Structure 1
């Protein structure tokens, strides 16, 4: 202890420094950080005088401007031993407690707190009594026990404690070193009787010792638990070894044995088998409760469940396959021929690469159901996945195993679902694949849909090459424009055009009506449809290339009949042309109004849409003006350019066409395509626009029975177009008997059914002159 402190004179008025979260006892030496302006001013004042300052603890830690009621009255008079100014404006001081003091009055609060302090003098007796010595020894022993339990007590403090002979000083020294809460420390400093304070310290130490014992017991239990789990692991390993010696096995060994058995049955290729064996050995040495165990177990399940070598035997009976295809689908000869060719080659050559077919056509023509029919004809499993809206490459290739919840891509999942490595795999809606920040799924399809590469398709999750060369891939799309060219190059495109009214009638009688009768709980005798009624449904209640809406309307009639039966009106119903409206209401689609007479400046064109063909009227009027050209009808850029080309052709050949050359400078030309709310584009209306334009300028009428299609050049040549079958169907629906087409489309006439060719006369034209010879009447 420092005996000189007794000789220090403490003035009655001292600067006051409120401290937070700590109680300073006499003889304590500790650093303090001072940041408040008033506190820094108090420190400066103390340093300017005798370096003495009164330290007292504030009651609320967060109080920034403590008043008399916010600080404890009992504190410690301390000496500032050193002072450092920090770069952030704060001050660090090193203080030593000298003596206890009591705040009697706060004399000033500005610029810093000043207080009148009364020194607390403790009674110090002479020789220590036996009771006091015993109490001091008990406290020292308690403190030693606490230090042995890894408490934060320095060895220097223990040495000082052993040498302190004063009970009050011992109590203060112990209290300042055992990390008490502010409330407990303040309670101790306010006890003026040394023996009472030492008794209180003894009680606090006893409580701290109990807490330390409980804490040590909890820690030892935790260590025991860890040791127990390690011991259990070693015991399990020993048990496994003993069971192996006895010919027995545990659950994990059974698990691994089952996997090994499946692995042998799966007949993996060499590379895949080597990797599977390696992962299985890892699984054997891994604890079942390890985080990686379940992930590896799932991976092994996928490996052994994939059909590496399981195949179905193809039905190579060509006649039987043809019968199955005819049963399921009407017409579609080109598709059926391609499937039968595949079977024929398969019969002659066992090992062959599966073709990559792509059915392209309007909605409802039977692309998806055709895939099922192909699988049934071949005797193969059928798997279908929809690519519509897929934007993540991982949907195709899968996720890597390192991700939580990783799974293989849809291709591998589909093969597992099929259970064979040679199913018919349908990729529906290929043209609806999208791309975003997660990658481009169509790029992942490049390897999949390439017969030269897919014998070693790599899925990110499986991470092993899988042979897809035996799979018969069939993709479907409505249009091929959105499909990337690299992917398009890998596909064998088979186009499915729409059906004629007669074909729809046959399909309705053979497939749709029986299916809807069965779906609605009716028998063939309950409701019958006349041919005229079905034909009315086709022409006036649906406007489509496919059959979905037709089947929907047939189903609607069947449901209404079923309701009648359910209400007790059970008698056979015959649906005729005249009774269709009573079931479905007024006709929804009226056919395009037919031209009643030959007109000047109106020509009939043919257009292709995603849902089939349409007829297109082009109207041209001339009026007095300065030779300007006006185009209306929501035409696209290509169509506008076709109109410009038609006008240029007419001007260049005005004399030959019987047109007064002065008209081009004296008359304005207005070209309009009705149905102005519908956007239109494409070059195939070029000849139609030229015919209507020449008709209006020359005064020659255009035949109402002639429709035309073809692109025009400035030289008057007629270039080929696409969608000929759809356009021919549109002409038949509009009762047009003659179609003028480009001569270079002659090859496409083979794709048009014979029944359709009998209804329409096709005129092949190489130049605009040949078109005009057919389309325009002679001037009277």
Structure 2
């Protein structure tokens, strides 16, 4: 209290504290326009005089102008003291109209003014902001003071008695302030004077200013004054307790003793305060009774530990971790389905099947708020947008986004956590991620779930069986946490490149959504709408610095990338952007509209040649289709004959399944030699060599059966294979063509390579029917049931140039 006068001598103090007297100047005014001086960290009350240092340019202009005119200004405290140019909305609603008594320009250049509050005002609206804030204000007429002279006298005595007590306990306030209080006889002025000088927060003083009722203001003011008296008494008691221990040669000891006494007075030792703080936080938690009992037990155990012991920080960290978890704290879902659809369409081109599933989930959630979240697994080749799709789902739902990479994860405790008894124990990454999200229903991305490993420390994929089971994960138990946690509201989205490496039981718990590769048209749209703008931004380029038309983008796609996704495409567009950025940085002239030739000049010679896949001038060379983890691929089955004893050689690092396919195809061909016009003696007198190029790459799978059959039939008959034809399917000894998987990826691979016709098993027709029409455009599909149909479609009646003239032994008569 009265702290602002603690540096003044008695003469200055008397000049600052005004004599009593009612100022009637503003009584008959209801509204007026005033320049507004914002105050930081102080509140001006009517009748009270305040010295204020003015530093802001607008404030200096305001003071100079007002001092020349009628010296009247509005003074209002600002809510945020950090704002240098506050608007009327950033000020409190109520303030005080004031008169400038004196303006002092100090030697250091600062301006100090002495102002006296006159009457309370309410800010109504802004009139102007420059050159300083001017507002329309309304005069606030406070309630009449207490009418009874006896009651008024009693209130004055109570207030003065409390003020004298504060003066007595605080040696920093000059004693002349006591004489100033003696001279105040008006209750209204005494109230405002004490409110202005009480040791309280700005917010509390502003609250006193806004109170109109005299009884309420007196009651609140006395509460603040008694609080200050209590604090001053405690300080004095602390000072008296430690003064006997003062040793001038041991200053540090004195400080420790003072801190210790302070903690004693505040209710216990430092650790006890920490425990009480944790207990208060726990009282606000919305957790189950079982969890609350467990926490209280752990907290009581913490209270019994010595703060110096090694167990104390471990127990403290555990309690804090429990409190940091968002027990039953959820973000509210945005269930506007049309808005969600727009977000998904904006962030990702295509992927209609996935988007449809997300919208279905939102629709059900809108109708049934307590539904358990599904476990989705986005399965497809790299670069098709599986991980980024998770971000879009979180944005569409309005939920927090959490991502956990599982590639190379081998330790089960990474999922379930360590037991508390271990040194360095911590919760599993699932619970740590939930804590980081701050909500119990985030969108949780489990990236690369197919690349989880296993070693002597356990099997993490088995640990996920509980996490990813909607029937179990409402009571997930982390070894470190030791109590069950509900994960059923978390929307888990896993991503994988291959399903073969995922444990069958784990795969069964997830809803598999296949994301296939993109067509040329889709890649072009993605490049135009997403990749190219992103690369321009990342390389410091503006949208108008260069443009690349659809033909140029097509050149990049076909000549420099061969993938299901768009990752390499983005890298190549980044290379184009860097080339343009170099020209701009070096201030060289360059073409802003890039053509296909310009792209080739920047990126160099094309890496891939589409035309090389269309040759059919050699017998025994057939194009097959294969599925890989990076999408569909075309492969060639090559065969050749040489004079020998009927041996068969297989090369190209083939797996067991492909070797069996080759053996089966040859056996079928030998059985059908007569119908195909093949002299049976050829099998006995010529060696067959079947090769799949790229011998350094392991190959296996059941997709090459009919391809090998066609290659063998072509080499034995020397007939041409149909141009721009590819095939996939397995064959049996009876000649039945069996279905295979990865149909869409294979279709896209065929389109990328310029294939026009494809042979499938008749049983794959259902898979083709699920594929969008746009993927099938420009392709002729043949669905066959047996090998005869395959050879009828694939082999032409024309023989290849320089066909082999088989030399066979003469038949005996």
- Bucket of the pairwise TM-score, normalised by the shorter protein: 0.5 to 0.7
Which residue of 1 is the match for residue 748 of structure 2? 729
Question: Which residue of structure 2 lines up, in the alignment, with residue 461 of structure 1?
Answer: 480
Partner Cα distance (1:311, 1:753) in 2: 38
Match of residue 303, structure 1, among 322, 325, 329? 322
- Identify if the C-alpha distance between structure 1 residues 395 and 491 changes in structure 2 by more than 3 Å, giving closer, same or farther: same
Match of 1:702 in 2: 721
How many Å separate the matches in 1 of 2:614 and 2:444? 48
Q: List structure 1 runs of 4+ shifted beyond 4 angstroms.
A: 238-243
Aligned match of 1:530: 549
State how 1:124-203 maps to structure 2 within 5 Å.
none
Residue in 2 aligned with 1:765? 784
- The equivalent residue for 2:196 is none
Q: Distance in 2 between matches of 1:760 and 1:556?
A: 33
The alignment covers a number of residue pairs equal to 542
Deviation digits for residues 692-725 of structure 1 (CA, Å, limit 9, x no counterpart): 1112223332102221100011111111111111
Distance (whole Å) between structure 2 residues aligned to residue 382 and residue 570 of structure 1: 44
SS of residue paired to 2:596: coil
- How much has 1:734 moved relative to structure 2? 1.8
In 1, the alpha carbon distance for the partners of 2:280 and 2:781 equals: 68
The equivalent of 2:537 in structure 1 is 518
Residue of structure 2 aligned with 1:777, choices 796, 805, 808: 796
1:483 is aligned to 2:502: yes
- The Cα of 1:624 is off from its aligned counterpart by 2.8
Instruction: Pick one of 279, 282, 295 that aligns with 1:276.
Output: 295
CA distance in 2, matches of 1:588, 1:616: 17
SS in 2 for 1:778: strand
Alignment correspondent of 1:754: 773
Q: Which residue in the other structure is 2:383 paired with? A: 364
2:406 corresponds to: 387
Match of 1:565 in 2: 584
The corresponding residue for 1:47 is: none
1:578-617 equivalent positions in 2, closer than 5 A: 578-591=597-610, 593-597=612-616, 599-617=618-636
Aligned residue for 1:537, secondary structure, equals helix
Match of 2:666 among 634, 639, 647: 647
Answer yes or no: is 1:373 the counterpart of 2:401: no
Confirm or deny: 8 A CA contact 2:444 2:493 kept in the other structure.
yes
Q: How far apart are the structure 2 equivalents of 1:461 and 1:546?
A: 40
C-alpha distance in structure 1 between counterparts of 2:749 and 2:479, whole Å: 49
- Partner Cα distance (2:562, 2:665) in 1: 31
Deviation by residue 1:63-95 (Cα, 9 ceiling, x = unmatched): xxxxxxxxxxxxxxxxxxxxxxxxxxxxxxxxx
Residue 610 of structure 2 aligns to a residue in which SS?
coil
Structural mapping, 1:390-429, within 5 Å: 390-429=409-448
Q: Distance in 2 between matches of 1:572 and 1:663?
A: 63
Deviation string, structure 1 residues 569-604 (Cα, Å, up to 9, x no partner): 366622210011222222223336133445432222
Contact persistence 1:604–1:707 (CA under 8 A): yes
Map 1:186-265 onto structure 2 (within 5 A). Answer: 248-265=267-284
Alpha-carbon deviation of 1:750?
A: 3.3
In structure 1, how many angstroms separate the alpha carbons of the residues matched to 2:293 and 2:769? Answer: 55
Match of 1:143 in 2: none
CA contact (8 A) 2:344 2:396 kept: yes
Whole-angstrom distance in 2 between the partners of 1:252 and 1:365: 53
| Structure-1 separation of matches of 2:502 and 2:353 | 22
- For residues 279 and 445 of structure 2, the distance between their equivalents in structure 1, rounded to whole angstroms, comes to 33
For each residue in 1:263-295, what CA deviation from the matched residue of structure 2 results, as whole angstroms up to 9, or x when unmatched?
122211121111001112222333322332211
Q: Distance in 2 between matches of 1:676 and 1:438?
A: 37
CA distance in 2: counterparts of 1:712 and 1:512, whole angstroms: 43
RMSD (Å) for aligned C-alpha atoms: 2.1
CA distance in 1, matches of 2:283, 2:781: 65
Distance (Å, rounded) in 2 between the aligned partners of 1:240 and 1:467: 43
Structure possessing the higher radius of gyration over alpha carbons: 1
Separation (CA, whole Å) in 1 of partners of 2:599 and 2:264: 83
TM-score by length of 2: 0.64
Q: 1:571 to 1:593 in 2, by over 3 A?
A: closer
Q: What runs of 5+ residues in structure 1 fail to find an aligned partner?
A: 1-234
Contact 2:639 2:711 in 1 (8 A): yes
Does residue 448 (structure 1) correspond to residue 467 (structure 2)? The answer is yes
1:286 is matched with which residue? 305
Task: Provide the rounded CA distance (Å) in 2 between the counterparts of 1:735 and 1:659.
Answer: 32
Aligned counterpart for 1:717 among listed residues 714, 719, 736: 736
TM-score, scaled relative to structure 1: 0.67
